[in-house]
Structures are given as C-alpha cells and as structure tokens.
Amino acid sequence: MIRRLFVANRGEIALRVIRTARAMGMTTILGVSEADRHSLPARSADDVVVIGPAPSAQSYLNIPAVVAAAQSARADAIHPGYGFLSENAAFARAVAEVGMIFVGPELSSLTAMGDKLMARRVGIEAGLPVVPGGEAADKAAARAQAERTGYPLLLKAVSGGGGRGMKRVDAPDQLEAQIDMAMAEAQAAFGDPRVYVERFIARGRHVEVQVLGDGHDAIHLGTRDCSIQRRFQKLVEEAPAPNMPDDKRAAIEAAAVNLARHLGYRGAGTVEFLVDAETFDFYFLEMNARIQVEHPVTEAVTGIDLVEQQLLIAGGGRMALRQGDVAVQGHAIEVRINAEDWRADFRPSPGRVARAVWPAGPGIRIDTHIASGGEVPPYYDSLLGKLIVSAPTRAEAVALLAAALNRLTIEGVDTTRDLHRTIAADARFVAGGVDTRFFEGLAA
C-alpha cells in the first residue's frame, strides 16, 4: 500500500492528485519550486519540499533533485501528474532504483510509447491501423518519404508531444524550410531532432480512448473528442466523442484495449487516434502513458476516479473494475482557461489574479489552483483551471457550458474565457463532430 505520496508537479493537477490521495488516507508531500512555495497546492498538501529555483530545468525537470526531495520526505511513491517528467523513462527508472513506486506504467511501456516511431511499430504489432508515413532522419530521407506519402503531410517530432516540432507541409517547395524548423523545435523541446513524415488527413477528428490496465488485463472507459485545437494543442475536450456510429465507436475502443493488452499496460493511459470525419476510418497516432489534462470528462460520464485507479494499481493491486462495470452516461465538456491574450496570438499573461470567481452549481466542476490574489508565474504553462460541465444530453451540456462561462470572472490577467464563449456559441460546435480545422474557421 502507498502511505506517503510525493506529488512531483504543480498547478491544478497537483491539487487534483492531493485531494484524491488524502481521501484514500495517504499523507501527501508536494515538491515545489521556489516560485510555487506559497501556492494553493502547497497550502493543501500535508508537507512541502522545495526542489529548486523557479525555472523548470532546475526544479520540476531536475530528476536528481526530485528523487532526493521524495527520499527526504520518506515517500513510498511518486505521482508525476502530466507534463514535466510524467512520461520520462529515465525518471521512472531513477524512482525505481531508490525503492519507490512510480505511479505510472512499467518502464517498458514508457519506453515503447515515448518514441513515436517505436509506438507506431508496436501499434502495428497489436493490429492497429496507422497513418501512412515513416521516419525522416535528414532532408534527403524526408524528400523520399514525402514522395511516397504524398501531400499534404505532417512532420512530427519522434520524441514529441503538445504540438512541438510538428509542421504541416502542403507542397514540395515548402518541405526543406519546414523540416529545418521541425528539427530545430524538436531538438530544443526534447533534445532529439528526429522527425517522421505522416500523411495529413484533410478532415480529421482527434478521438482518444481512456484505458486502464493492471498488467494482466485492460479495459476502456469510452471515447473523448479533442478536435478543437490551435496549432495541435487542445482547447476543448468532450466525452463521449459526439456523432460517431456505434460500430466505429466499438471498433476504436476495442483497438485501444488491444494495444494496452499487447503492452501489458499498468495504470491509466490514453490511446489517441485520427478519425476521418467523412468515412470514420481511424488510425492510431500515439499513446499517452499518464493521466491526461482532459481526464475529468471521462470521470464525469463514468463516475470513476481515474487518479484513485492509478494509485490502487500502482500500490500493487489487480483492477477491481471489469469492462462490464463501466457505463458511459450523459455528456461532459471541458474547456481550458489559460492566462493568455487569445486575440494577440495567445500571448501569455502572467501576473497577479486580482479577482477570481469560478461558477458553481449542479453539473459544474472546477479544477483549478487559482483564487483571488493568486500569482501566475511566467515560468510555466499558462493553465489557470479547467471548467467541466456534464448533463444528461450533449445539447444540455453545451447550454450549461455557455451559462457557466458567462458567470466566470477572472481579473488581473488576460484569459481565454471569451474565446470559449465564442466556441460555445458557434453553430458547428453546437451541432457536434467538428474536425481539427474548426479553429481556422473560427479565427477567420
């Protein structure tokens, strides 16, 4: 059993993990940077250990410092949240080497899914369809692969995520400049310049499946749709994915479970697919071997606490849940409220939050670490919080989202609230089933 849990993260996900862990009777220790020592998560944990200075490289990304801090706190386990070190195989190895539990998948799964090319090979082994493409180690290889794949295409960082190192190429004369930029971004973000070429599906939807595994069996908790994105970064997520034929939904869920079983996967993971918006043919993209930012919408429609499941599985137990125990009921939508000026190309807006009024009421959930008087440091992701709504039908959920956004007030920093009000009122979003080009039309 896990008795003392070290949370190696910050912001809303740190507070989210602390709350479930304490409800399970665990003592919680939060590792913080100097910039976060007075944050709401720090005030909520049972104990706090300062890892290092404000910059992430000296604190949240500093593996020796994080492990040493957890050891000093006599932790049994480390929960990495999402981002930072959550999918870092070297971190998981370092945690295991000092006798602590890494709340995440086995090292073999992290290694296999952390490299997009390896993940693609494993997906094929598990029988999943993949988008045509291949590795491009240099410009010559990129040109050859592009000729085989055809245009338009995407360049993707092999070790990447979050849209970093990803470039769309519409014609051959754009390839060399874009591959230079993709490789440079990949090197800067991940220390790995490798990219691969993938066919671009013109009307694609981003649909993912939440899975749980205990190393012996795996189940799914339904689909999510994350198609509303800006530069490959998600803005809105909902569960279940709307307007999908039942047979296609069942097929994509089965494919995700097949991959998890093939890996002998332990813990919570998300299998991501590109779905053709016209034919509903789907292609495996990658697996995120961690808790997702958008996990609350799955919790809302299944009633299952995913962090609790992570901690139970990490503690050595077999899953008590079986597929027949999972029922998806109603509809949930999440929007990310970021400290950004979305009208100025999403320029970050750090500073002091003079006033924060988050909506409340039936069907409304707020995951945040920000209250009136809180600070938004300039060093980290700009996520202030997540507004999640749920209702018996999607139409009711959309209406509740619009009403909740109208009641949300944050003063002192710019936010994306009004962007989400615009999205919630857009006829295409109201109808459901939009593709990844949605934001381009909205911006126009």
3-state secondary structure 117-141: HHHHHHHHHCCCCECCEEEECCHHH
Report phi then psi at 256, rounded to 5.
Answer: -65, -45
Q: Are residues 10 and 25 in the same domain?
A: yes
- Say what percent of the chain tops pLDDT 90: 82
Average pLDDT over residues 408-427: 97
pLDDT at 410 over 70: yes
Q: Are residues 252 and 221 in the same domain?
A: yes
Q: Are residues 253 and 185 in the same domain?
A: no
Q: Are residues 254 and 330 in the same domain?
A: yes
Report phi then psi at 411, rounded to 5.
Answer: -120, 145
pLDDT on residue 423 = 97
Which of these ranges, 21-30, 312-321, 370-379, has the smallest mean pLDDT? 312-321
Q: Are residues 231 and 184 in the same domain?
A: no
pLDDT on residue 189 = 75
pLDDT at 394 over 60: yes
Q: Categorize the per-residue pLDDT at 444 as very low, low, confident or very high, splitting at 50, 70 and 90.
A: very low
pLDDT at 443 over 70: no
The number of residues in the chain equals: 444
Q: Are residues 213 and 171 in the same domain?
A: no
pLDDT on residue 87 = 93
- Taking the C-alpha atoms of residue 413 and residue 339, their distance in angstroms, rounded to an integer, is 6
- Taking the C-alpha atoms of residue 13 and residue 298, their distance in angstroms, rounded to an integer, is 15
pLDDT on residue 116 = 77
pLDDT on residue 438 = 95
Q: Are residues 413 and 282 in the same domain?
A: yes
The verdict on residue 433 lying in a domain is yes
The verdict on residue 38 lying in a domain is yes
The verdict on residue 115 lying in a domain is no
Q: Are residues 220 and 255 in the same domain?
A: yes
- Taking the C-alpha atoms of residue 377 and residue 20, their distance in angstroms, rounded to an integer, is 26
pLDDT at 243 over 70: yes
Q: Which domain holds residue 190?
A: 132-199
| Distances in whole angstroms, Cα of residue 245 to Cα of each of 39, 241, 274, 279 | 45, 10, 15, 10
pLDDT at 163 over 80: no
- Taking the C-alpha atoms of residue 222 and residue 183, their distance in angstroms, rounded to an integer, is 35
Average pLDDT over residues 170-180: 91
Average pLDDT over residues 79-106: 96
pLDDT on residue 162 = 63
Q: For the domain that residue 58 is a member of, what is the CATH number?
A: 3.40.50.20
pLDDT at 229 over 90: yes
pLDDT on residue 407 = 98
Show which of 180, 199, 218 is a domain's final residue: 199
The verdict on residue 304 lying in a domain is yes
Task: Answer yes or no: 290 catalytic.
Answer: yes
Token pair belonging to 111 = 């290694």
pLDDT in tens, 290-311: 999 999 999 999 999 999 999 9
Domain count, the chain: 3
Name the active-site residue from 205, 290, 394, 417.
290
Q: Are residues 302 and 240 in the same domain?
A: yes
The verdict on residue 116 lying in a domain is no
- Taking the C-alpha atoms of residue 334 and residue 337, their distance in angstroms, rounded to an integer, is 10
The verdict on residue 223 lying in a domain is yes
pLDDT at 233 over 90: no
Show which of 169, 199, 229 is a domain's final residue: 199
DSSP one-letter string for 10-77: -HHHHHHHHHHHHHTT-EEEEEEEGGGTTSHHHHHSSEEEEEE-SSGGGTTT-HHHHHHHHHHTT-SE
- Taking the C-alpha atoms of residue 6 and residue 11, their distance in angstroms, rounded to an integer, is 15
Q: Are residues 250 and 283 in the same domain?
A: yes
The verdict on residue 75 lying in a domain is yes
The verdict on residue 120 lying in a domain is no
Closest by CA to 249, choosing from 320, 312, 328, is: 328
Show which of 199, 214, 244 is a domain's final residue: 199
Average pLDDT over residues 326-341: 98
**Under 8 Å between Cβ of 85 and 91:** yes
pLDDT at 114 over 60: yes
pLDDT on residue 158 = 80
Mean pLDDT (the chain) is 94
Q: Are residues 291 and 143 in the same domain?
A: no
pLDDT on residue 41 = 97
Q: Are residues 266 and 345 in the same domain?
A: yes
pLDDT in tens, 14-66: 999 999 999 999 999 999 999 999 999 999 999 999 999 999 999 999 999 99
pLDDT on residue 317 = 77
